[in-house]
Structure 1
Amino acid sequence: MTCRVCGAELAEGTLFCGKCGSSVTASRVRPPEVADPRPSDTSIVERLPKPAIAGRFPADELDEDGLPATQAMPVVPIETAAPLPRRSYTLSFSTGETVEVLGSGLVGRRPITQPGEHVDQLVVVSDPARSVSKTHLEFGLEGDDLWICDRYSGNGTVARPLGDVARQCEAGRRYRVTRGTRVEIGDQWFDVS
């Protein structure tokens, strides 16, 4: 099986691509069926420059995209793997709020669901500068993995895994995030723990 986004080889039963982080089992999230009827008032901020990694790593440690190569985790056959307890995640926002992930949810200044859509949590982020969109991103659990998905926000979403390269999240696509990841939404951010 190969990843439909980056073409990396994947073990059978894999939920997320280890190379690009995209969801293997879930199809691309569709754009909103109905545009948000509220007028946009998001303040667009300057995009952060891509981190310069050339010269920080020896050439033989970079992959074909010029990014630091990562080693794949060993595959453990399902029949020998011990069941792991369900993990809970906490989102700690730059504004001081802390939210325990209970299922699916939306994050934004005034998040709303699309017609027929159901989420477990609506997380309101205080952002007087309005760099965070009204409904900025979606999050959820797939098994024991936490994922995020930019909901076509004005300033986009950047995931910065601890000790790894930052990734600009493509709108409408799910990305797995691990503990220690900082997710930037406009001028605000939250840490995953």
Structure 2
Amino acid sequence: MTCRICGAVLPEGAMFCGDCGSSTTATPESRRRPDPRPGDTRIMDEPVHRNSGVISIPVDGVRPTSPITTVDAAVAEARRSVHASPRFVLTFSTGETRTVFGTGLIGRKPLPQPGESFDQLVQIADRTRSVSKTHLEFGEHEGMLWIVDRFSGNGTIVRRPDDGALRCEPGRRYLVPRGSRVELAEQSFTVE
């Protein structure tokens, strides 16, 4: 007898899989959950400023104050290609260190949704399973790291070096300066 979810070999008469915890009657179709993301995807006109100093920016980035011409766009693209994306060193509470750049996902077993693509998938060793499989998304904006909580089960907290703690609202980007600590349930990492 094998588990229909993870394929592990199960002893006769087992009710649950010892590897993934699924019921022996579970099927991949029964394990699918509806998308928890809200249907309202309107972009805010202005960044939301909070007392903590962490800036929440719209998904498409900060809008320019004046229209961009084709020449301006070409110059901006040329500058982007000349300057490599900044790199950030993430030091995890597990002792692991990862250098990241571009975009990526962090979690126990990070997996992009269909149609998504990322530069990196950063896996955290978390035996307590307090960190979600795909806990958060990260990227770069004007030389700073940003993160988005991907509707994780235990949430994400940002602690800036000169400010208090801020619980991240799922689905919203937060800028995280170097020296900050990001808490993912029982695990954490610092940004250098």
Per the normalisation by structure 1, the TM-score is 0.60
Deviation at 1:4, TM superposition (A): 4.8
% same residue = 50
Partner of 1:23: 57
User: Partner of 1:190: helix, strand, or coil?
Assistant: strand
Q: Give the aligned residue type for 1:137.
A: L
Q: Give the aligned residue type for 2:173.
A: R
Provide the rounded CA distance (Å) in 1 between the counterparts of 2:183 and 2:102.
Answer: 21
Alignment of 1:41-120 (within 5 A): 87-120=86-119
User: Partner of 1:184: helix, strand, or coil?
Assistant: strand
Deviation at 1:85, TM superposition (A): 9.0
Partner of 2:46: 3
Deviation at 1:102, TM superposition (A): 1.9
Q: For structure 2, which runs of at least 5 residues remain unmatched after alignment?
A: 1-44, 62-82
CA gap 1:25/1:115 in 2 versus in 1, 3 angstroms: closer
Provide the rounded CA distance (Å) in 2 between the counterparts of 1:123 and 1:175.
Answer: 19
How many pairs does the alignment contain? 127
Deviation at 1:88, TM superposition (A): 2.3
CA gap 1:110/1:102 in 2 versus in 1, 3 angstroms: same
Provide the rounded CA distance (Å) in 1 between the counterparts of 2:94 and 2:181.
Answer: 14
Provide the rounded CA distance (Å) in 1 between the counterparts of 2:134 and 2:119.
Answer: 15
Provide the rounded CA distance (Å) in 1 between the counterparts of 2:118 and 2:86.
Answer: 19
CA-to-aligned-CA distance 1:59-104 (integer Å, 9 cap, x gap) = xxxxxxxxxxxxxxxxxxxxxxxxx996421111001111111210
Provide the rounded CA distance (Å) in 1 between the counterparts of 2:117 and 2:172.
Answer: 18
Alignment RMSD (CA, Å): 2.5
User: Partner of 1:119: helix, strand, or coil?
Assistant: coil
Provide the rounded CA distance (Å) in 1 between the counterparts of 2:166 and 2:56.
Answer: 11
CA-to-aligned-CA distance 1:30-68 (integer Å, 9 cap, x gap) = xxxxxxxxxxxxxxxxxxxxxxxxxxxxxxxxxxxxxxx
Deviation at 1:20, TM superposition (A): 4.5
Deviation at 1:25, TM superposition (A): 6.6
Provide the rounded CA distance (Å) in 1 between the counterparts of 2:121 and 2:175.
Answer: 20
Q: For structure 1, which runs of at least 5 residues remain unmatched after alignment?
A: 9-16, 28-83
Provide the rounded CA distance (Å) in 2 between the counterparts of 1:87 and 1:115.
Answer: 27
CA gap 1:4/1:142 in 2 versus in 1, 3 angstroms: closer
CA-to-aligned-CA distance 1:88-140 (integer Å, 9 cap, x gap) = 21111001111111210000000100001000100000110100000000001
Per the normalisation by structure 2, the TM-score is 0.60
Partner of 1:162: 161
Q: Give the aligned residue type for 1:23.
A: I
Between the two structures, name the one with larger relative contact order (CA 8 Å, sep ≥ 6). Answer: 1
Provide the rounded CA distance (Å) in 2 between the counterparts of 1:90 and 1:192.
Answer: 6
Structure with bigger helix share is 2
Deviation at 1:5, TM superposition (A): 2.9
